[in-house]
Amino acid sequence: MSCELSETATPEDFARPRWVGQPDVLERAQRLSQKFEEAYGRAPVGVWAAPGRANLMGEYVDFSGGMCLPFAHQYVTLTAAAPREDGVLNAQSMQDADESVADDRPRSTRIDDIEPGVISGWFGYVAGVSWGMNRVARGASAHPVAVPELGLPTSFGADLMVDSTVPIGAGLASSAALECSVALSLFSLNTGNDHPNDALRRALARACMDAENYIVGANTGGLDQTASLRSHAGEILALDCRDFDVVRLPADPALAGLTWLAIDTRAPHKLADGQYSSRRAECEAAAAVLDVPTLRDALPEHPTPDDAAAVLDRFDHLLEVGAELTEDRENTRLRLRHSMTEMVRSVQIADELHSDSPDWAFVGRLLVEGHESMRDDCEVTVPELDAAVDGCLSAGALGAKVVGGGFGGSVIALVSLESVDRLAAAVQLCFAQNGFREPLFLTLQPSEAGRRIL
Ligand code: GLA
Protein backbone atom coordinates (compact mmCIF):
# COMPACT_ATOMS: atom_id res chain seq x y z
CA MET A 1 0.00 0.00 0.00
CA SER A 2 1.54 3.25 -1.06
CA CYS A 3 0.16 6.72 -0.97
CA GLU A 4 3.13 8.62 -2.31
CA LEU A 5 2.02 11.55 -4.43
CA SER A 6 3.87 13.07 -7.30
CA GLU A 7 5.04 16.62 -6.51
CA THR A 8 3.21 17.97 -9.52
CA ALA A 9 -0.21 16.44 -8.87
CA THR A 10 -3.06 18.96 -8.56
CA PRO A 11 -6.63 18.44 -7.31
CA GLU A 12 -7.88 18.44 -10.91
CA ASP A 13 -5.97 15.21 -11.50
CA PHE A 14 -8.21 13.27 -9.13
CA ALA A 15 -11.85 12.27 -8.85
CA ARG A 16 -13.85 14.78 -6.83
CA PRO A 17 -13.87 13.95 -3.09
CA ARG A 18 -17.27 13.53 -1.42
CA TRP A 19 -17.87 15.99 1.42
CA VAL A 20 -20.45 15.61 4.17
CA GLY A 21 -22.24 18.98 4.29
CA GLN A 22 -22.56 21.09 7.42
CA PRO A 23 -25.66 20.00 9.35
CA ASP A 24 -28.54 22.49 9.38
CA VAL A 25 -29.54 21.59 12.92
CA LEU A 26 -32.49 23.96 13.23
CA GLU A 27 -34.02 22.82 9.96
CA ARG A 28 -33.58 19.16 10.94
CA ALA A 29 -35.13 19.86 14.36
CA GLN A 30 -38.20 21.43 12.74
CA ARG A 31 -38.60 18.51 10.36
CA LEU A 32 -38.21 16.08 13.25
CA SER A 33 -40.86 17.93 15.18
CA GLN A 34 -43.29 17.51 12.27
CA LYS A 35 -42.48 13.81 11.94
CA PHE A 36 -43.06 13.39 15.65
CA GLU A 37 -46.50 14.92 15.28
CA GLU A 38 -47.35 12.66 12.34
CA ALA A 39 -46.22 9.57 14.27
CA TYR A 40 -47.68 10.29 17.70
CA GLY A 41 -50.62 12.58 16.86
CA ARG A 42 -49.44 15.42 19.10
CA ALA A 43 -46.63 17.98 19.10
CA PRO A 44 -43.40 17.25 20.97
CA VAL A 45 -42.64 19.36 24.04
CA GLY A 46 -39.19 20.10 22.63
CA VAL A 47 -36.19 18.92 20.62
CA TRP A 48 -32.79 18.22 22.20
CA ALA A 49 -29.46 17.75 20.41
CA ALA A 50 -26.19 16.12 21.43
CA PRO A 51 -23.00 15.95 19.37
CA GLY A 52 -20.52 13.23 18.52
CA ARG A 53 -16.83 13.72 19.32
CA ALA A 54 -13.31 13.66 17.96
CA ASN A 55 -10.33 12.88 20.20
CA LEU A 56 -6.83 14.32 19.80
CA MET A 57 -5.17 11.79 22.07
CA GLY A 58 -5.96 9.24 24.75
CA GLU A 59 -7.42 6.33 22.78
CA TYR A 60 -8.11 3.09 24.64
CA VAL A 61 -7.07 4.67 27.94
CA ASP A 62 -10.37 6.04 29.31
CA PHE A 63 -11.19 2.69 30.97
CA SER A 64 -7.68 2.73 32.48
CA GLY A 65 -8.08 6.17 34.10
CA GLY A 66 -5.91 7.94 31.49
CA MET A 67 -6.28 11.45 30.11
CA CYS A 68 -8.22 12.01 26.88
CA LEU A 69 -8.36 15.18 24.78
CA PRO A 70 -11.75 15.16 23.05
CA PHE A 71 -13.88 17.86 21.53
CA ALA A 72 -17.53 17.72 20.53
CA HIS A 73 -17.98 18.33 16.80
CA GLN A 74 -20.89 20.03 15.08
CA TYR A 75 -22.73 16.86 13.93
CA VAL A 76 -25.53 16.05 16.35
CA THR A 77 -28.26 13.54 17.07
CA LEU A 78 -31.66 15.08 17.75
CA THR A 79 -34.41 13.78 20.01
CA ALA A 80 -37.95 15.16 19.89
CA ALA A 81 -39.86 14.20 23.00
CA ALA A 82 -43.13 14.46 24.89
CA PRO A 83 -43.98 12.95 28.28
CA ARG A 84 -46.40 10.11 29.06
CA GLU A 85 -47.89 9.22 32.40
CA ASP A 86 -48.04 5.44 32.07
CA GLY A 87 -44.38 4.47 32.60
CA VAL A 88 -43.95 3.52 28.92
CA LEU A 89 -41.05 4.57 26.69
CA ASN A 90 -41.61 4.59 22.90
CA ALA A 91 -39.05 5.50 20.26
CA GLN A 92 -38.90 5.85 16.50
CA SER A 93 -36.04 6.91 14.25
CA MET A 94 -35.82 8.97 11.07
CA GLN A 95 -33.11 6.50 10.06
CA ASP A 96 -35.68 3.68 9.99
CA ALA A 97 -35.85 4.08 6.23
CA ASP A 98 -32.08 3.48 5.98
CA GLU A 99 -31.69 -0.26 5.53
CA SER A 100 -28.12 -0.31 6.81
CA VAL A 101 -29.18 0.76 10.31
CA ALA A 102 -32.89 -0.09 10.50
CA ASP A 103 -34.12 -3.09 12.41
CA ASP A 104 -37.62 -4.28 13.17
CA ARG A 105 -37.20 -5.06 16.87
CA PRO A 106 -39.76 -3.49 19.22
CA ARG A 107 -39.03 0.07 20.33
CA SER A 108 -41.44 0.20 23.22
CA THR A 109 -41.01 -0.88 26.80
CA ARG A 110 -42.15 -0.12 30.30
CA ILE A 111 -39.20 1.66 31.94
CA ASP A 112 -39.61 -0.61 34.96
CA ASP A 113 -39.06 -3.68 32.78
CA ILE A 114 -35.66 -2.58 31.44
CA GLU A 115 -32.77 -4.73 32.62
CA PRO A 116 -29.55 -6.09 31.13
CA GLY A 117 -30.11 -8.58 28.34
CA VAL A 118 -33.71 -7.78 27.43
CA ILE A 119 -33.39 -5.07 24.77
CA SER A 120 -31.32 -5.27 21.61
CA GLY A 121 -30.64 -3.03 18.61
CA TRP A 122 -30.49 0.75 18.73
CA PHE A 123 -33.42 0.93 21.15
CA GLY A 124 -31.02 -0.48 23.76
CA TYR A 125 -29.14 2.85 23.74
CA VAL A 126 -32.40 4.75 24.24
CA ALA A 127 -34.03 2.54 26.85
CA GLY A 128 -30.68 2.02 28.55
CA VAL A 129 -30.45 5.73 29.31
CA SER A 130 -33.65 5.76 31.38
CA TRP A 131 -32.35 2.68 33.24
CA GLY A 132 -28.97 4.38 33.76
CA MET A 133 -30.59 7.58 35.06
CA ASN A 134 -32.47 5.63 37.75
CA ARG A 135 -29.30 3.76 38.63
CA VAL A 136 -27.29 6.98 39.09
CA ALA A 137 -30.22 8.52 41.00
CA ARG A 138 -30.17 5.82 43.65
CA GLY A 139 -26.38 5.70 43.93
CA ALA A 140 -26.05 2.23 42.40
CA SER A 141 -23.57 3.23 39.69
CA ALA A 142 -19.87 4.07 39.83
CA HIS A 143 -20.77 7.77 40.09
CA PRO A 144 -19.27 8.99 43.39
CA VAL A 145 -22.60 10.14 44.84
CA ALA A 146 -26.31 9.42 44.35
CA VAL A 147 -27.94 12.12 42.18
CA PRO A 148 -31.67 11.96 42.98
CA GLU A 149 -32.47 14.65 40.37
CA LEU A 150 -31.89 12.03 37.67
CA GLY A 151 -34.52 9.64 39.02
CA LEU A 152 -37.63 9.01 36.90
CA PRO A 153 -40.85 8.39 38.88
CA THR A 154 -42.63 5.07 38.19
CA SER A 155 -45.39 6.79 36.23
CA PHE A 156 -42.89 8.66 34.03
CA GLY A 157 -42.86 7.70 30.36
CA ALA A 158 -42.10 9.38 27.03
CA ASP A 159 -42.63 9.27 23.30
CA LEU A 160 -39.42 9.92 21.37
CA MET A 161 -38.43 10.45 17.74
CA VAL A 162 -34.72 10.62 16.89
CA ASP A 163 -32.71 11.78 13.89
CA SER A 164 -28.94 11.67 13.44
CA THR A 165 -26.66 13.97 11.46
CA VAL A 166 -23.60 12.14 12.88
CA PRO A 167 -22.28 9.67 10.32
CA ILE A 168 -23.29 6.31 11.81
CA GLY A 169 -20.54 3.78 12.54
CA ALA A 170 -17.83 6.25 11.49
CA GLY A 171 -15.96 6.33 14.80
CA LEU A 172 -17.34 9.81 15.50
CA ALA A 173 -19.49 8.68 18.46
CA SER A 174 -22.95 8.40 16.94
CA SER A 175 -23.97 6.06 19.79
CA ALA A 176 -23.02 8.57 22.48
CA ALA A 177 -24.79 11.34 20.57
CA LEU A 178 -27.96 9.25 20.61
CA GLU A 179 -27.66 8.38 24.31
CA CYS A 180 -26.88 11.94 25.35
CA SER A 181 -29.67 13.58 23.36
CA VAL A 182 -32.12 11.09 24.90
CA ALA A 183 -30.71 11.74 28.38
CA LEU A 184 -31.12 15.51 28.04
CA SER A 185 -34.67 15.12 26.75
CA LEU A 186 -35.79 12.75 29.54
CA PHE A 187 -34.09 14.85 32.21
CA SER A 188 -35.74 18.00 30.95
CA LEU A 189 -39.20 16.44 30.53
CA ASN A 190 -39.03 15.14 34.08
CA THR A 191 -37.51 18.13 35.88
CA GLY A 192 -38.26 21.12 33.64
CA ASN A 193 -34.53 21.94 33.77
CA ASP A 194 -33.22 22.76 30.29
CA HIS A 195 -29.82 23.93 31.50
CA PRO A 196 -28.24 21.19 33.61
CA ASN A 197 -25.01 22.40 35.22
CA ASP A 198 -21.69 20.59 34.83
CA ALA A 199 -22.27 18.38 37.90
CA LEU A 200 -25.60 17.18 36.47
CA ARG A 201 -24.03 16.70 33.04
CA ARG A 202 -21.35 14.56 34.58
CA ALA A 203 -24.04 12.44 36.26
CA LEU A 204 -25.99 12.20 32.99
CA ALA A 205 -22.80 11.10 31.21
CA ARG A 206 -22.45 8.32 33.78
CA ALA A 207 -26.06 7.27 33.17
CA CYS A 208 -25.28 7.06 29.44
CA MET A 209 -22.12 5.03 30.16
CA ASP A 210 -24.15 2.63 32.28
CA ALA A 211 -26.66 2.31 29.45
CA GLU A 212 -23.86 1.33 27.09
CA ASN A 213 -22.00 -0.94 29.54
CA TYR A 214 -24.96 -2.85 30.95
CA ILE A 215 -27.95 -2.58 28.61
CA VAL A 216 -26.16 -2.45 25.23
CA GLY A 217 -23.33 -4.61 26.52
CA ALA A 218 -20.40 -2.57 25.16
CA ASN A 219 -17.62 -2.26 27.71
CA THR A 220 -16.64 1.30 26.77
CA GLY A 221 -15.01 3.88 29.00
CA GLY A 222 -16.91 7.21 29.09
CA LEU A 223 -14.84 9.35 26.75
CA ASP A 224 -17.63 9.77 24.20
CA GLN A 225 -20.46 10.58 26.59
CA THR A 226 -18.35 13.11 28.53
CA ALA A 227 -17.34 14.89 25.35
CA SER A 228 -20.93 14.98 24.12
CA LEU A 229 -22.32 16.45 27.33
CA ARG A 230 -19.48 18.61 28.69
CA SER A 231 -17.63 20.19 25.74
CA HIS A 232 -17.49 23.89 24.89
CA ALA A 233 -17.34 25.58 21.49
CA GLY A 234 -13.80 26.38 20.40
CA GLU A 235 -12.22 24.28 23.16
CA ILE A 236 -10.59 20.92 23.74
CA LEU A 237 -11.40 19.06 26.97
CA ALA A 238 -8.57 17.67 29.05
CA LEU A 239 -10.53 14.80 30.56
CA ASP A 240 -8.97 12.97 33.49
CA CYS A 241 -10.72 9.59 33.45
CA ARG A 242 -9.64 8.77 37.02
CA ASP A 243 -12.48 10.94 38.30
CA PHE A 244 -13.93 12.51 35.11
CA ASP A 245 -12.66 15.96 36.06
CA VAL A 246 -12.27 18.21 33.04
CA VAL A 247 -10.03 21.18 32.31
CA ARG A 248 -11.07 23.41 29.43
CA LEU A 249 -8.35 24.18 26.87
CA PRO A 250 -9.27 27.09 24.60
CA ALA A 251 -7.12 25.93 21.69
CA ASP A 252 -8.34 27.02 18.30
CA PRO A 253 -6.18 25.84 15.39
CA ALA A 254 -7.99 28.30 13.11
CA LEU A 255 -5.96 31.07 14.76
CA ALA A 256 -2.89 29.44 13.22
CA GLY A 257 -4.60 28.94 9.84
CA LEU A 258 -5.30 25.26 10.57
CA THR A 259 -8.35 23.03 10.78
CA TRP A 260 -9.43 19.49 11.68
CA LEU A 261 -10.21 17.32 8.68
CA ALA A 262 -11.99 14.01 9.29
CA ILE A 263 -11.91 11.17 6.82
CA ASP A 264 -14.60 8.55 7.27
CA THR A 265 -12.93 5.54 5.66
CA ARG A 266 -16.24 3.64 5.43
CA ALA A 267 -14.22 0.49 6.01
CA PRO A 268 -16.58 -2.25 7.15
CA HIS A 269 -16.40 -2.88 10.93
CA LYS A 270 -15.37 -6.46 11.54
CA LEU A 271 -15.36 -8.21 14.94
CA ALA A 272 -15.12 -4.80 16.54
CA ASP A 273 -17.05 -5.47 19.77
CA GLY A 274 -15.11 -8.55 20.81
CA GLN A 275 -11.84 -6.88 19.89
CA TYR A 276 -12.60 -3.82 22.03
CA SER A 277 -13.36 -6.01 25.04
CA SER A 278 -10.21 -8.05 24.58
CA ARG A 279 -8.07 -4.88 24.49
CA ARG A 280 -9.68 -3.77 27.72
CA ALA A 281 -9.17 -7.20 29.31
CA GLU A 282 -5.47 -7.11 28.36
CA CYS A 283 -5.07 -3.66 29.94
CA GLU A 284 -6.74 -4.91 33.11
CA ALA A 285 -4.48 -7.96 33.15
CA ALA A 286 -1.43 -5.70 32.88
CA ALA A 287 -2.74 -3.60 35.80
CA ALA A 288 -3.14 -6.78 37.86
CA VAL A 289 0.50 -7.74 37.20
CA LEU A 290 1.62 -4.25 38.23
CA ASP A 291 -0.67 -4.49 41.26
CA VAL A 292 -2.43 -1.17 40.58
CA PRO A 293 -6.22 -0.52 40.41
CA THR A 294 -5.94 0.98 36.90
CA LEU A 295 -3.01 1.46 34.54
CA ARG A 296 -3.03 5.21 35.20
CA ASP A 297 -1.96 4.44 38.76
CA ALA A 298 1.28 2.92 37.46
CA LEU A 299 2.45 6.39 36.36
CA PRO A 300 3.30 9.48 38.43
CA GLU A 301 1.06 12.54 38.42
CA HIS A 302 2.90 14.22 35.54
CA PRO A 303 4.27 11.30 33.53
CA THR A 304 7.20 11.49 31.07
CA PRO A 305 8.40 9.05 28.39
CA ASP A 306 10.99 7.75 30.89
CA ASP A 307 8.21 6.93 33.35
CA ALA A 308 6.40 4.97 30.63
CA ALA A 309 9.57 2.99 29.87
CA ALA A 310 10.13 2.30 33.57
CA VAL A 311 6.64 0.78 33.90
CA LEU A 312 7.41 -1.61 31.04
CA ASP A 313 10.65 -2.64 32.70
CA ARG A 314 8.80 -3.27 35.94
CA PHE A 315 6.19 -5.35 34.11
CA ASP A 316 8.94 -7.49 32.51
CA HIS A 317 10.66 -7.89 35.84
CA LEU A 318 7.47 -8.91 37.65
CA LEU A 319 6.78 -11.58 35.04
CA GLU A 320 10.36 -12.83 35.30
CA VAL A 321 9.92 -13.34 39.04
CA GLY A 322 6.70 -15.26 38.54
CA ALA A 323 3.77 -12.77 38.55
CA GLU A 324 0.62 -14.38 37.22
CA LEU A 325 -0.79 -13.17 33.92
CA THR A 326 -4.28 -14.07 32.75
CA GLU A 327 -3.90 -12.92 29.11
CA ASP A 328 -1.40 -13.58 26.32
CA ARG A 329 2.00 -12.22 27.36
CA GLU A 330 3.06 -10.58 24.12
CA ASN A 331 -0.33 -8.94 23.48
CA THR A 332 -0.58 -7.69 27.05
CA ARG A 333 2.86 -6.10 26.85
CA LEU A 334 1.92 -4.35 23.61
CA ARG A 335 -1.32 -2.98 25.12
CA LEU A 336 0.60 -1.84 28.17
CA ARG A 337 3.13 -0.04 25.99
CA HIS A 338 0.30 1.64 24.08
CA SER A 339 -1.46 2.69 27.28
CA MET A 340 1.68 4.13 28.88
CA THR A 341 2.94 6.05 25.84
CA GLU A 342 -0.58 7.26 25.00
CA MET A 343 -1.11 8.61 28.53
CA VAL A 344 2.21 10.47 28.26
CA ARG A 345 1.31 11.89 24.82
CA SER A 346 -2.01 13.20 26.20
CA VAL A 347 -0.19 15.05 28.95
CA GLN A 348 2.36 16.43 26.47
CA ILE A 349 -0.37 17.74 24.16
CA ALA A 350 -2.40 19.16 27.05
CA ASP A 351 0.72 21.00 28.27
CA GLU A 352 1.29 22.37 24.80
CA LEU A 353 -2.32 23.50 24.41
CA HIS A 354 -2.10 25.43 27.68
CA SER A 355 0.26 27.84 25.93
CA ASP A 356 -1.08 30.99 24.23
CA SER A 357 0.39 30.02 20.88
CA PRO A 358 0.69 26.23 20.78
CA ASP A 359 3.32 24.62 18.59
CA TRP A 360 0.88 22.82 16.28
CA ALA A 361 3.70 21.10 14.39
CA PHE A 362 4.71 19.43 17.66
CA VAL A 363 1.08 18.45 18.30
CA GLY A 364 0.93 17.02 14.77
CA ARG A 365 4.01 14.86 15.36
CA LEU A 366 2.44 13.46 18.51
CA LEU A 367 -0.76 12.66 16.60
CA VAL A 368 1.31 10.56 14.20
CA GLU A 369 3.03 8.79 17.09
CA GLY A 370 -0.42 8.14 18.53
CA HIS A 371 -1.55 6.59 15.27
CA GLU A 372 1.54 4.40 15.06
CA SER A 373 0.88 3.20 18.59
CA MET A 374 -2.75 2.41 17.72
CA ARG A 375 -1.48 0.49 14.67
CA ASP A 376 1.48 -1.40 16.15
CA ASP A 377 0.77 -1.73 19.88
CA CYS A 378 -2.99 -1.46 20.32
CA GLU A 379 -3.50 -3.17 16.94
CA VAL A 380 -6.87 -1.63 16.15
CA THR A 381 -6.24 -0.05 12.75
CA VAL A 382 -7.16 -1.45 9.34
CA PRO A 383 -5.43 -0.76 5.99
CA GLU A 384 -7.93 1.99 5.14
CA LEU A 385 -7.08 3.92 8.33
CA ASP A 386 -3.34 3.56 7.77
CA ALA A 387 -3.72 4.64 4.14
CA ALA A 388 -5.77 7.70 5.14
CA VAL A 389 -3.03 8.75 7.56
CA ASP A 390 -0.28 8.11 4.98
CA GLY A 391 -2.23 9.99 2.33
CA CYS A 392 -2.74 12.98 4.63
CA LEU A 393 0.92 13.11 5.64
CA SER A 394 2.24 12.77 2.12
CA ALA A 395 0.00 15.68 1.08
CA GLY A 396 1.33 17.93 3.84
CA ALA A 397 -0.88 17.44 6.93
CA LEU A 398 0.84 18.36 10.20
CA GLY A 399 -0.43 15.15 11.73
CA ALA A 400 -3.15 12.51 11.43
CA LYS A 401 -4.46 9.62 13.49
CA VAL A 402 -7.32 7.18 13.87
CA VAL A 403 -10.04 8.51 16.15
CA GLY A 404 -12.04 6.40 18.61
CA GLY A 405 -12.20 2.62 18.69
CA GLY A 406 -10.70 1.86 15.25
CA PHE A 407 -11.44 -1.31 13.22
CA GLY A 408 -12.79 1.02 10.53
CA GLY A 409 -14.16 4.46 11.27
CA SER A 410 -12.36 7.75 10.83
CA VAL A 411 -9.02 9.50 10.82
CA ILE A 412 -8.63 13.11 11.94
CA ALA A 413 -5.90 15.22 10.45
CA LEU A 414 -4.51 18.62 11.40
CA VAL A 415 -4.21 20.52 8.14
CA SER A 416 -3.71 24.06 6.91
CA LEU A 417 -6.93 25.71 5.76
CA GLU A 418 -5.65 26.29 2.26
CA SER A 419 -4.51 22.70 1.77
CA VAL A 420 -7.82 21.01 2.74
CA ASP A 421 -9.03 20.42 -0.83
CA ARG A 422 -5.68 19.19 -2.06
CA LEU A 423 -5.39 16.86 0.90
CA ALA A 424 -8.85 15.40 0.42
CA ALA A 425 -8.06 14.83 -3.24
CA ALA A 426 -4.82 13.07 -2.33
CA VAL A 427 -6.56 10.71 0.10
CA GLN A 428 -9.29 10.09 -2.45
CA LEU A 429 -6.69 9.07 -5.03
CA CYS A 430 -4.88 6.90 -2.54
CA PHE A 431 -8.10 5.04 -1.72
CA ALA A 432 -8.88 4.56 -5.41
CA GLN A 433 -5.36 3.20 -6.04
CA ASN A 434 -5.80 0.70 -3.22
CA GLY A 435 -9.27 -0.40 -4.31
CA PHE A 436 -10.93 0.83 -1.10
CA ARG A 437 -14.47 2.18 -0.81
CA GLU A 438 -14.76 5.88 -1.53
CA PRO A 439 -14.14 7.81 1.71
CA LEU A 440 -16.21 10.72 3.02
CA PHE A 441 -14.67 14.02 4.15
CA LEU A 442 -15.79 16.38 6.89
CA THR A 443 -14.23 19.41 8.52
CA LEU A 444 -14.79 19.32 12.27
CA GLN A 445 -15.16 22.34 14.54
CA PRO A 446 -14.91 22.08 18.32
CA SER A 447 -18.56 22.74 19.19
CA GLU A 448 -20.88 23.15 22.14
CA ALA A 449 -22.19 20.22 24.16
CA GLY A 450 -25.71 18.78 24.11
CA ARG A 451 -28.55 21.26 24.59
CA ARG A 452 -32.20 22.03 23.91
CA ILE A 453 -32.74 23.24 20.34
CA LEU A 454 -36.51 23.82 20.09
C1 GLA B 1 -14.75 4.06 21.80
C2 GLA B 1 -15.24 3.97 23.25
C3 GLA B 1 -14.51 4.96 24.15
C4 GLA B 1 -13.01 4.88 23.97
C5 GLA B 1 -12.63 4.88 22.50
C6 GLA B 1 -11.16 4.63 22.27
O7 GLA B 1 -15.11 5.29 21.26
O8 GLA B 1 -16.62 4.25 23.30
O9 GLA B 1 -14.90 4.74 25.48
O10 GLA B 1 -12.47 3.78 24.66
O11 GLA B 1 -13.35 3.89 21.77
O12 GLA B 1 -10.42 5.69 22.77
Contact 338, 373 (CB under 8 A): yes
* Substitution candidate for ligand 1 out of 55, 59, 67, 241 with most atoms within 8 A of CB: 59
pLDDT digits (tens, 9 = 90+) for 228-270: 999 999 999 999 999 999 999 999 899 999 999 999 999 987 6
405 CA: nearest ligand 1 atom: 11
Q: Compute the distance from residue 60 Cα to the ligand 1 centre, in Å.
A: 6
Protein fold of 21-248: Ribosomal Protein S5; domain 2 (3.30.230)
- Provide mean pLDDT across the span 360-370: 98
- Provide mean pLDDT across the span 326-331: 97
Please tell me the predicted confidence (pLDDT) of residue 96: 81
Please tell me the predicted confidence (pLDDT) of residue 105: 74
pLDDT digits (tens, 9 = 90+) for 149-182: 999 999 999 999 999 999 999 999 999 999 999 9
220 CA: nearest ligand 1 atom: 9
The domain locations on the chain are: 21-248, 251-444
Residue 4 in this model has a pLDDT that exceeds 70: no
Q: Compute the distance from residue 202 Cα to the ligand 1 centre, in Å.
A: 17
Please tell me the predicted confidence (pLDDT) of residue 97: 73
What CATH class is the domain 251-444?
A: alpha beta
223 CA: nearest ligand 1 atom: 9
CA-nearest residue, atom 9 of ligand 1? 221
pLDDT digits (tens, 9 = 90+) for 433-448: 999 999 999 999 999 9
Q: Compute the distance from residue 9 Cα to the ligand 1 centre, in Å.
A: 37
pLDDT digits (tens, 9 = 90+) for 267-320: 987 656 799 999 999 999 999 999 999 999 999 999 999 999 999 999 999 999
pLDDT digits (tens, 9 = 90+) for 392-444: 999 999 999 999 999 999 999 999 999 999 999 999 999 999 999 999 999 99
Active-site residue list? 224
CA-nearest residue, atom 10 of ligand 1? 60
Q: Compute the distance from residue 36 Cα to the ligand 1 centre, in Å.
A: 32
CA-nearest residue, atom 2 of ligand 1? 220
CA-nearest residue, atom 7 of ligand 1? 404
Lining residues, ligand 1, CB within 6 Å: 59-60, 62, 220-224, 404-405
Q: How much of the chain exceeds pLDDT 90, in percent?
A: 91
Q: Compute the distance from residue 169 Cα to the ligand 1 centre, in Å.
A: 13
User: Can you give the chain as a three-state secondary structure string?
Assistant: CCCCCCCCCCHHHCCCCEECCCCCHHHHHHHHHHHHHHHHCCCCCEEEEEEEEEECCCCCCHHHCCEECEEEEEEEEEEEEEEECCCEEEEEEHHHHCCCCCCCCCCEEEHHHCCCCCCCCCHHHHHHHHHHHHHHHCCCCCCCCCCHHHCCCCCCEEEEEEEECCCCCCCCCHHHHHHHHHHHHHHHHHHCCCCCCHHHHHHHHHHHHHHHHHHHCCCCCCHHHHHHHHCCCCCEEEEECCCCEEEEECCCHHHHCEEEEEEECCCCCCCHHHHHHHHHHHHHHHHHHHCCCCHHHHCCCCCCHHHHHHHHHHHHHHHHCCCCCCCCHHHHHHHHHHHHHHHHHHHHHHHHHCCCCCCHHHHHHHHHHHHHHHHHCCCCCCHHHHHHHHHHHHCCCCEEEEECCCCCCEEEEEEEHHHHHHHHHHHHHHHHHHCCCCCEEEEECCCCCCEECC
Which residue would you say has higher pLDDT here, 356 or 248? 248
CA-nearest residue, atom 8 of ligand 1? 220
* Substitution candidate for ligand 1 out of 166, 224, 282, 377 with most atoms within 8 A of CB: 224
Q: Compute the distance from residue 226 Cα to the ligand 1 centre, in Å.
A: 11
Q: Compute the distance from residue 173 Cα to the ligand 1 centre, in Å.
A: 8
* Substitution candidate for ligand 1 out of 68, 166, 219, 220 with most atoms within 8 A of CB: 220
